[in-house]
Amino acid sequence: MTRSLTILGATGSVGSQTLDLVARNPGRWQVEALTAGSDVAGLVSAAKACGARFVAIADAAKGEALKAALAGTGIESGAGESALVDAAARDAEIVITAIVGAAGLPPTMAAVKRGAQIGIANKETLVCAGPVVTAAATAHGATLLPVDSEHNAIFQVFPHDDPAQVERVILTASGGPFRTKSREEMRGVSVADACKHPTWSMGAKISIDSATLMNKGLELIEAAQLFPVDVERLDVIVHPQSVIHSMVEYVDGSVLAQLGSPDMRIPIAYAMGWPERIATPAARLDLAAIANLSFEKPDLERFPCLALAWAAMRAGGSAPCILNAANEIAVAAFIAGQAGFLDIDAIVAETLNMVASGPVATLEEVMAIDAAARRTARALVAKRAA
Ligand code: NAD
Ligand code: MG
């Protein structure tokens, strides 16, 4: 049976791995729409290869170039943020959200509001607007399936019918490229150093988040949105081999885990195929070759971003949104050479101190607090550069 599929953020790491699975399974999925930020050539070649019906580019200035590149193909196109929402609103049964950052929020909401099956990779959407997104999913009958490997692992071993059986949910973290480095050694690291992830190959932003451990902090908040457990039951353990993707500890002391090689096509295929499982070309787990699995406690002093995220999760309300917005600005500044690696946690901490947090109930309130936090974080970046 052919199912229709839309990919938001089709030109990135998760998006292209999703398209790889589409190409390997002819006839299984009909691609309805693809979106990208500004990469016209990448979007056009992806759309031609998979036979997409509609493509949207976020950068409004690229609309004409996109249309010209598609001439004669019969593929429709749009440009600007509203075109992304149009793409998500089109009638596809499954939507994979693989945009990076809170920019993914409006199109994700469009897919949620028509009750789609949604494979969520775009964690920032759940961090900045989790309660709004999950309430809309319930109201409109949308299914949220986690693509993030940790949450996908938890989803696979979670007692969905009786969450009271859960004692703890334990997210594993690789520890990133600076796991054994001192703060002093981290001070001068380059963007390339920060993007050298020990086990996963990913987009730049999440790679840097993995180096600061903010990624694990965002994932704690994401887990709190996806699973009905008290935040005090969420925990993190560093596991450098990235073989165990996360665990659920039950009240009787049993711990169930999902394991696999670090290949995102496994959790992506799970979300695309659910409730069925789909064969993937991912390397099979060779435990004898791996030989040892090790674990250590996360160091919240060397990695303050994890502590900041943990506190924002406990504070709730708009605190996670402020944290996320400040982190997006700080990471972009680091990539652009306007801030150092250790400025990232400092900018996030200062923004959280400067922008008052409180309850948020609507998407409009979330967008307003997100904008305010971005303004504050940008001013902090500018002050450092001056
Ligand atoms: P990426 O940078 O490789 O790709 C991002 C995609 O979003 C691209 O298609 C890009 O064109 C598009 N995009 C960027 N900015 C945009 C904007 N302002 N508006 C609209 N589109 C925009 O990122 P990625 O590594 O694929 O990650 C995507 C999301 O999935 C992130 O939220 C990340 O945290 C999450 N995630 C990724 C991985 C991974 O292995 N890469 C694993 C788990 C979760
Ligand atoms: Mg993850």
pLDDT at 199: 85
Please tell me what DSSP assigns to residue 229.
S
Report which ligand 1 atom has the smallest distance to the Cα of 124. Answer: 32
pLDDT digit string (tens) for 172-215? 999 999 999 999 999 999 999 999 988 888 999 999 999 999 99
**Any ligand 1 atom below 6 A from CB of 58:** yes
- Number of continuous H segments (helices) and E segments (strands) in the chain: 17, 11
* Residue 17 alpha carbon, nearest atom of ligand 1: 26
Tell me the CATH number of domain 3-146, given options 3.50.50.60, 1.10.240.10, 3.20.20.190, 3.40.50.720: 3.40.50.720
Q: What is the DSSP string of 182-193?
A: -HHHHTT--HHH
Backbone phi and psi for residue 31, each to the nearest 5 degrees, phi listed first: -80, 120
CA of 173 to the centre of ligand 2 (A): 8
Handedness of CA 139, 140, 141, 147 (dihedral sign): negative
143: CB partners within 8 A, 6+ apart: 116, 117, 118, 137, 274
Cβ proximity of 133 and 110 under 8 Å: no
Check if 150 has its Cβ closer than 6 Å to any atom of ligand 1. Answer: no
Distance separating alpha carbons of residues 380 and 351, to the nearest angstrom: 8
**pLDDT reported for residue 385:** 83
Cα 112 to Cα 222: distance, rounded to the nearest angstrom: 17
Indicate whether this model's pTM tops 0.95. Answer: yes
Task: Give the span between the Cα atoms of 150 and 231, in whole angstroms.
Answer: 16
For ligand 2, the distance from its centroid to the CA atom of residue 123, given in whole angstroms, is 9
Per-domain boundaries in the chain: 3-146, 149-311, 316-386
Query: Which ligand 1 atom is at minimum distance from the Cα of 107?
Result: 20
Residue pLDDT tens, the chain, 386 long: 899 999 999 999 999 999 999 999 999 999 999 999 999 999 999 999 999 999 999 999 999 999 999 999 999 999 999 999 999 999 999 999 999 999 999 999 999 999 999 999 999 999 999 999 999 999 999 999 999 999 999 999 999 999 999 999 999 999 999 999 999 999 999 999 999 988 888 999 999 999 999 999 999 999 999 999 999 999 999 999 999 999 999 999 999 999 999 999 999 999 999 999 999 999 999 999 999 999 999 999 999 999 999 999 999 999 999 999 999 999 999 999 999 999 999 999 999 999 999 999 999 999 999 999 999 999 999 998 88
Write the class of the CATH domain 316-386.
mainly alpha
Q: Is the CB of 216 under 6 A from ligand 1?
A: no
Percent of the chain with pLDDT over 90: 98
Q: Any idea what the Cα angle at residue 321 is, between residues 317 and 322, rounded to 5°?
A: 100
Give the number of the ligand closest to the Cα of residue 13: 1
